[in-house]
């Protein structure tokens, strides 16, 4: 976006306009450092799957979804080699309605076209002409974007974080809470209580959500549903599809139909 300006957000001390943006296609890697900005970041996955991690959780933007990242929130980003991201950087004063927490939102066809149109504007667009009115409509649509729910909350307890990290690395692990209780030297009841307190989910529901979110990159890349289901720890395709529908309100095919 905005080809006249080749500067990255990290090189800017302040935004040249209330909304600044660029398109990027980056390889599949985890940034070696946590970083933050002094403005809001709106990262839209037009293709592929974007995975943003903060201390509070993982925020997954499948195609036609986006992640809002508030100022000052340290985050790391992972994306597939084929993922295409369009990022908007928005001055806090321009979005007084924006919450100070990360969230994943759905990108409507209108918002998608507004983002594309914004990409054609010069970096220092005229705020008092048509470009300024386009940006005003863009901000209105950002405010109206509904939550997409693609969030995996992470616990703060170190024992639970160890458990969750292992499960994230290998979603098809079969160990239950009783197994983790023995491994971590904590009672099963304590683990269950802390998990619900710190993530808002039971262990079973947390692991189910992890597995389903882990399935998104493979499904988006066109892998067979059977293979993805087995890789994520499901014994049958029917069980996987039923869980997917329960979580996302659609089958895998329906979920990606709008890509």
Same domain, 160 and 96: no
Q: Which of 168, 246, 63, 219 is nearest to 238 (CA)?
A: 246
194-226 tens-digit pLDDT: 999 999 999 999 999 999 999 999 999 899 999
Same domain, 198 and 120: no
Domain of residue 83, CATH code: 2.60.120.280
87-107 tens-digit pLDDT: 899 999 999 999 999 999 999
pLDDT > 60? residue 29: no
Same domain, 124 and 165: no
Please report whether residue 235 resides in a domain: yes
Q: What is the predicted pLDDT for the residue at 30?
A: 42
User: Between helices 203-220 and 158-169, what is the axis angle to 10°?
Assistant: 30
Tell me the mean pLDDT in the region 25-48: 74
Same domain, 123 and 193: no
Q: What is the predicted pLDDT for the residue at 26?
A: 43
Least confident of 17-31, 131-145, 211-225: 17-31
Please report whether residue 92 resides in a domain: yes
**First CA to last CA across the chain, in angstroms?**
20
**Full-model pTM:** 0.87
Same domain, 48 and 105: yes
What CA–CA distance (Å, rounded) separates 253 from 225? 9
Same domain, 106 and 168: no
What CA–CA distance (Å, rounded) separates 226 from 116? 35
């Amino acid at each position: 976006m905005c080809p006249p300006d080749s500067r990255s957000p990290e090189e800017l001390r302040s935004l040249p306009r209330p909304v600044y943006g660029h398109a990027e296609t980056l390889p599949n890697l985890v940034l070696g450092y946590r970083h933050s900005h002094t403005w809001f970041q709106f990262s839209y996955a037009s293709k592929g799957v974007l995975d943003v991690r903060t201390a509070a959780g993982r925020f997954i933007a499948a195609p036609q979804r986006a992640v809002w990242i508030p100022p000052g929130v340290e985050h790391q980003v992972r994306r597939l080699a084929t993922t295409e991201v369009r990022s908007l950087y928005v001055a806090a004063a321009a979005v007084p309605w924006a919450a100070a927490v990360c969230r994943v939102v759905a990108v409507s066809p209108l918002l998608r076209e507004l983002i594309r149109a914004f990409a054609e504007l010069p970096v220092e667009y005229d705020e008092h002409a048509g470009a300024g009115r386009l940006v005003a409509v863009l901000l209105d649509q950002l405010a109206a974007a509904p939550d997409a729910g693609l969030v995996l909350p992470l616990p703060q307890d170190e024992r639970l974080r160890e458990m969750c990290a292992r499960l994230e690395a290998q979603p098809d692990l079969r160990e239950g809470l009783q197994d983790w209780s023995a491994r971590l030297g904590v009672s099963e009841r304590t683990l269950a209580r802390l998990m619900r307190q710190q993530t808002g989910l039971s262990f079973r529901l947390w692991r189910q959500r992890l597995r389903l979110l882990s399935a998104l990159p493979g499904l988006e890349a066109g892998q067979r549903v059977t293979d993805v289901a087995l890789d994520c720890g499901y014994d049958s395709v029917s069980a996987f599809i039923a869980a997917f529908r329960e979580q996302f309100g659609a089958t895998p095919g329906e979920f990606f139909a709008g890509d």
